[in-house]
Structure 1
Amino acid sequence: MYFSNVIGLNDVKQHLIDSVQRGFVPHARIFYGPEGVGKLPLAIAYARYLNCSYRGSNDACGECPSCHKFDKLAHPDLHFVFPVVKSKVSDDYLPQWRKFLNKHSYFNINQWLSFIDAENAQGYIYAKESDEIIRKLNLKVYEAPYKVMIIWLPEKMNLTSSNRLLKLLEEPPANTIFLLISEDSESVLPTIRSRCQPINIRSIEKEEMVAALSVNFELSDDEANSIAHIANGSYTAALHMIESSEDNRFLFQLFVNMMRASVSGNIKSIKETANEIAGIGREMQKSFISYSLKMFREYFVANLNEPEMVYLNDYEELFGERFSPFINEKNIEQFNDEFSLAYRQIEQNGNAKIIFLELCLRATLLLRK
């Protein structure tokens, strides 16, 4: 991945290039921002540029031995840490990770877990990963100016791993660069955040998104504009709409079933819907809750008659014509609180059947406000 492969973010790219050319290379940076905006490809492009033998004014050369190794994500001084399952370490999945990254620059954790056939599990960075990090960083730089450790989603680290990483950040090995990629920086240990130079990665501008979609998928201007509007700055969301419309429809149908059961107040329907959601796997359950939170926001805003502020596709908008009046100033905050609580409970491996039954019953009460 090169800077030229990163969509938009020209100001951030130029800042990183200028800092390297000035000789200002912090030992740790944290790239933080919403999902799907290009934080990971940006970090890899930065790592490539740092170790390129013939850096250009806008990008790495693409011709030196270092760049050729980065093409395969197999540079001996490039290391990755990322969420895995079954209490394993990142290196156990390194071949799959390289294969996945070579096909996907923009993705989320659900897509990664699905790729390794772990879509019903939750990905974590386990305690034993810290031993691997220490082992790798105690090795001398093999051939490049810098040894680079890219940690994708440090918020998934457990406390033991976080504390050992903190010690490394406090006393970093020579010529070692840490690049942390976070979608929830508030969940990263504050002492870790304080030792990293923060770089806020904003959402992709609509014009930048439209241009990328038009080139990469040969969409018409109307199609590209519609997708870019709904994606709201996330290229991952845009790709998902183009490539995985079935998943979105599945989440939408679950949402419709839940809302209809809750509106009806029929206990049998409520229990059936709750059991259906409880059976789809934890990562998909979290996706459903996130999707529902998005729908509540959109249907609430739809009542304000500001179409430019609403990000719904055709079938979501059609359902909202009758449903949106149910989401109002009397219940929107409570919907957000209840579904956010359910998300945290699912993350903590709570009993999904109880969580979603309770959520449906709460929704029944809130929809009557």
Structure 2
Amino acid sequence: MQFKDIVGQQEIKQQLIQTVTENRMSHAQLFLSPEGSGSLALAIAYAQYINCLDKSDTDSCGVCSSCRKYERYIHPDLHFSYPFFASKDVRVATDVLDEWRTMLLEDPYVNLDLWRSRLNAENKQANINIAECHDIIKKLSFKAFEAETKVLIIWLPEFLEKEGNSLLKIIEEPTPHTLFVLVAHNQEQILSTLLSRTQIVKIPKLPSATVVEHLCTHYNLDRDIAATYSFLADGNLIEAKSMVIHQQNDNAVLFSEWLRMGYGNKVPDLISFVEQAAGWGRENQKNFLKYGISFLRECSLLLSGAEALVKLPENVLETAKKLSEKVLDLTMAEAIIEVLEQAHYHIERNANPKILFLDVSLQLVKIIKFKTLPKGTQYIYN
């Protein structure tokens, strides 16, 4: 993978290239980023650049023998470690290396849910176990096979529990020309002993404009639709791509209409909507509810007088303003958000969608029309 294949992150790319050209690479680095920002792809492109035989000032060449092996993730001096679901047939990460490579070849923007879907995970918990730690130590104790630098990329070191302490010595005193790159999303869940031995590289979430441009270019989307997906994904390119693949609805129109049905106490229309929503499929239902939560949070900013902080696409902003002026108030918005969050939780756990959307629709009527809030909420009348 080359830097040019990675969406956005120009400053980080240049920073990583400079560490190589100026010969000031730390041997243990932690790429810390929100999910969907491209941190794993950056780690791979960084490793490829380091070992490229004909690198330029801006990228690896992509055609030398080293780059060609990196492009297929088969370079003998490129090692991966990642969470997996242990079984009698799977003891260490290399036991599912083929599945890992296949996933990266299709798209290096991945998360744990996508990885889980590749494996027969059942109800097992993902982790990086002690057997994997010992396998890492064994692999890195050998000299580099053909590259100048051996690279180990540990994806999601948050799944290294106390067993990760067995890696401290090799991280502190690695064999010559060894690079560790840890790719993480949650700093608080990483062993403090590991954190203290790495140089942190903070990778920001992708700007909305960058996500919009990518969706328009690669999926031929209308810019307004791409802007809606970008807003909902909040810089997470994995989430935005998933919406493109699964989305069939104009959530902005549907959600505002749903609120108006609740305000008008239009029960026959609500029942018709429930029938429609029940046939969307789980991913579309989740995206719809997630959109509603995000939309109402932006409405809450409008209701609080903080319009400058609102991130809604232009084509949706006017709708949000009208709803905020004529239908919603702050306490009402907060109450509906609570109901939608509970509904999203239950949809993820395979609740009956027809029953769930009917229940939520009736709660909308109670909250918006009759100003009856969930238990424990105090309503402040306008």
TM-score by length of 1: 0.72
Query: 181, 187, 190: which one pairs with 2:189?
Result: 187
Provide the identity percentage.
34
| Residue in 1 that maps onto 2:110 | 107
Following superposition of structure 1 onto structure 2, how do residues 184-223 of structure 1 map, counting pairs within 5 Å? 184-223=186-225
Distance 1:85 1:165, change over 3 A: same
Distance 1:368 1:126, change over 3 A: farther
| Residue in 1 that maps onto 2:331 | 325
SS in 1 for 2:132: helix
CA offsets per residue over residues 62-92 of structure 1, 9 Å max, x none?
Answer: 1111011011100000000111012532111
Distance in 2, matches of 1:119 and 1:368, equals 42
Question: Which of structures 1 and 2 has the bigger CA Rg?
Answer: 2
Distance in 1, matches of 2:323 and 2:110, equals 28
Aligned-partner residue type, residue 114 of structure 2: Q
| Residue in 2 that maps onto 1:144 | 147
Distance 1:129 1:69, change over 3 A: same
Aligned-partner residue type, residue 90 of structure 1: A
| Residue in 2 that maps onto 1:263 | none
Aligned-partner residue type, residue 35 of structure 2: E
TM-score by length of 2: 0.70
Distance 1:308 1:240, change over 3 A: farther
Q: 2:50 aligned with 1:47, yes or no?
A: no
Question: Is the CA contact 1:151–1:180 (under 8 Å) kept in the aligned structure 2?
Answer: yes
1:230 to partner: Cα distance: 2.1
CA offsets per residue over residues 190-248 of structure 1, 9 Å max, x none?
Answer: 221121111100011222222211111111222222222222211111112111338xx
Gaps of 5+ in 2: 263-281, 346-372
Q: 2:246 aligned with 1:244, yes or no?
A: yes
Distance 1:307 1:65, change over 3 A: same
Distance in 2, matches of 1:187 and 1:295, equals 30
Relative contact order higher in (CA < 8 Å, ≥ 6 apart)? 1
Question: Is the CA contact 1:231–1:311 (under 8 Å) kept in the aligned structure 2?
Answer: no
Question: Is the CA contact 2:8–2:206 (under 8 Å) kept in the aligned structure 1?
Answer: yes
Distance 1:188 1:116, change over 3 A: same
| Residue in 1 that maps onto 2:273 | none
Aligned length: 309
Aligned-partner residue type, residue 38 of structure 1: G
1:107 to partner: Cα distance: 2.0
SS in 1 for 2:179: strand
Aligned-partner residue type, residue 3 of structure 1: F
Aligned-partner residue type, residue 11 of structure 1: E
1:118 to partner: Cα distance: 2.2
Give the superposed CA RMSD: 3.8
Question: Is the CA contact 2:303–2:329 (under 8 Å) kept in the aligned structure 1?
Answer: no
Q: 2:326 aligned with 1:309, yes or no?
A: no
Distance 1:35 1:170, change over 3 A: same
Aligned-partner residue type, residue 52 of structure 2: C
Distance in 2, matches of 1:304 and 1:20, equals 48
SS in 1 for 2:168: helix
Distance 1:114 1:220, change over 3 A: same
Query: 110, 117, 126: which one pairs with 1:123?
Result: 126
SS in 2 for 1:29: strand
SS in 2 for 1:195: coil
SS in 2 for 1:150: strand
Q: 2:180 aligned with 1:178, yes or no?
A: yes
Question: Is the CA contact 1:113–1:119 (under 8 Å) kept in the aligned structure 2?
Answer: no
Question: Is the CA contact 2:83–2:156 (under 8 Å) kept in the aligned structure 1?
Answer: yes
SS in 2 for 1:48: helix
Gaps of 5+ in 1: 261-279, 281-286, 343-362
| Residue in 2 that maps onto 1:19 | 19
Stretch moving more, 186-195 or 135-144: 186-195
Following superposition of structure 1 onto structure 2, how do residues 7-86 of structure 1 map, counting pairs within 5 Å? 7-86=7-86
Distance 1:224 1:79, change over 3 A: same
